Amino acid sequence: MYPALAVLKALQDDEKSKWKSNETEQPFSPAAGDLELLWVGGEGGIEADLLSDEKITFTTIPAAGIHGVGLRALPGNLWQIIRGFIAARRIIKDFRPEVMFFTGGYLAVPVAYAGRTMILRRNRPRILVYVPDIEPGLALRTLARLSDQIALTVEDSMNYFEFRSNFQVTGYPVRQNLQISNRVDARQKFNLTRDLPTLLVFGGSKGARSINRALIELLPDLLVEMQVIHISGQLDWQEVEAAKENLPVDLESRYHVYPYLYQDMGAALSIADLVVSRAGASVLGELPLFGLPAILIPYPYAWRYQEVNARYLEKRGAAVVLQDADLNLHLLTTIRDLVNDQNRRERMGQSMLSLATPQAAESIADLLHGLVSMPSSGRI
């Protein structure tokens, strides 16, 4: 979701720039430009509140997955996909898009097929697919065959496609509000001391229970040597709060815990000396932007996407990979070894920084503009 929002912000910034270049004195509004946006989400999805805050027009369709679904659920899910396809055709017929942008997920497949089968003013909408993880999932591989262009976070992703296509390596589009902060300001924001190294720990928007619990067990040892910013997610928030309350007063002041950070995440990444996190696609864009050395713990109960992401950064000297099953045995020593070896952390940080692509959102926005201006291929 966040990569798509970053690209939409880049498109909106293009509109503002064109508006200003016309030397008009009227304030810019989205309705005043040439850009019309419609976000299609799944019924009951999590996007509605965030998109409302961003003032993005939003609609929904029925959606369901079929990969890895049991036989009992499969008929119902297939019916949901058919309903989603019918709803998507109706939306596309009414909205008449010139270009469609997908970042993955089973919801995108019926929408993409609906776009391919429509005849809109004798032109079909062009399709741009962005691949956030290094290894594309089943939905993205399906979408890629329907696309006019495929944007990739890294070049290695080409190895996972069985066909040649119009690939473009753009990097991972990082959301605009994830800004690098002055370390003094970031330190004040989290009430940190400059005399101790700072460890940042998080497991994604929902949190990661195994990481949370492993960290709680290590707090008495870690907080003697460092201060910790812990973004726990809502799932374990009560457990984490209780752990903080049970710490001795002198250590409790070094433990800064939050269920979630959004606006202040850039400050947390700016002030951290080391991060412990899962290895979702965002680590390929956000950690390089901040040049932040990492201990990455791939999520073990899904396909290997996070493992591939983590190994990519490890191979380039930017991260250390630790398996989820080894947290209790090796997390403490791995953190200590890196925190106490500043030279190694600096080398890892430089390797991470060399992978940064801060203009990725603008690059993908340029690809979308290019697709709009492509000659029509007529009826599909």
Lowest-confidence pick of 41-45, 86-90, 364-368: 41-45
Q: Is the pTM of this model over 0.75?
A: yes
Q: How far apart are CA 267 and CA 146, in angstroms?
A: 40
Q: How far apart are CA 355 and CA 367, in angstroms?
A: 21
Average pLDDT on 298-307 reads 90
pLDDT digits (tens, 9 = 90+) for 251-301: 999 999 999 988 899 999 999 999 999 999 999 999 999 999 999 999 998
- Answer for the pair 113, 329: CB distance below 8 angstroms, yes or no: no
Which tops the pLDDT comparison, 205 or 180? 180
Dihedral of alpha carbons 186, 188, 189, 192, sign: positive
Residue 380: pLDDT band (50, 70, 90) is very low
Would you list the DSSP string of 60-85?
EE-----TT--TTTHHHHHHHHHHHH
The three-state secondary structure class of 228 is strand
- Residue 173 pLDDT greater than 90, yes or no: yes
Share of the chain above pLDDT 70, in %: 86
Average pLDDT on 228-243 reads 94
pLDDT at residue 378, rounded to an integer: 43
Structure tokens at 7: 């690209």
Which tops the pLDDT comparison, 67 or 240? 240
pLDDT digits (tens, 9 = 90+) for 79-121: 888 898 999 999 999 999 999 999 988 888 889 989 888 754 4
Would you list the DSSP string of 241-293?
HHHHHTS-HHHHTTEEEES--STTHHHHHHH-SEEEE---GGGGTHHHHHT--
How many residues are there in the chain? 380
Return phi, psi of residue 266, to 5°: -60, -40
Structure tokens at 241: 């709060």
Of the candidates 138, 226, 168, 87, which has an alpha carbon nearest to the alpha carbon of residue 370? 168
